[in-house]
Amino acid sequence: MKSKIISASPDVMGGTPVFTGTRVPVQTLLDYLEGGQSIDDFLEGFPTVTREQVIAFLEEAKEQIVASVK
């Protein structure tokens, strides 16, 4: 079973979706990428998030987007 990539709890960042086990909002990664920064830039700024978490999140997002247009 895949571990949960993101989580949301009212006790952590007021329920904002974050990378599981961190207080780093998923939106922060999206903002970095939208701003033209790299995954490495993001990981340097948020060392509690792993590369594996970022890649798993992006893969899951891709799967959901592709499935939604079929």
15-52 pLDDT, tens digit per residue, is: 999 999 999 999 999 999 999 999 999 999 999 999 99
Under the banding of pLDDT at 50, 70 and 90, the label for residue 3 is low
CATH, residue 62: 1.10.10.10
24 falls within a domain: yes
Among residues 61, 56, 35, 32, the alpha carbon closest in space to that of 46 is found at 32
Number of structural domains found in the chain: 1
33 falls within a domain: yes
43 falls within a domain: yes
Residue 44 has phi, psi (to 5 degrees) of -65, -40
Residue 39 lies in domain:
6-68
* The two three-digit tokens of residue 48, written as one number: 């509690």
Which pTM value belongs to this model? 0.87
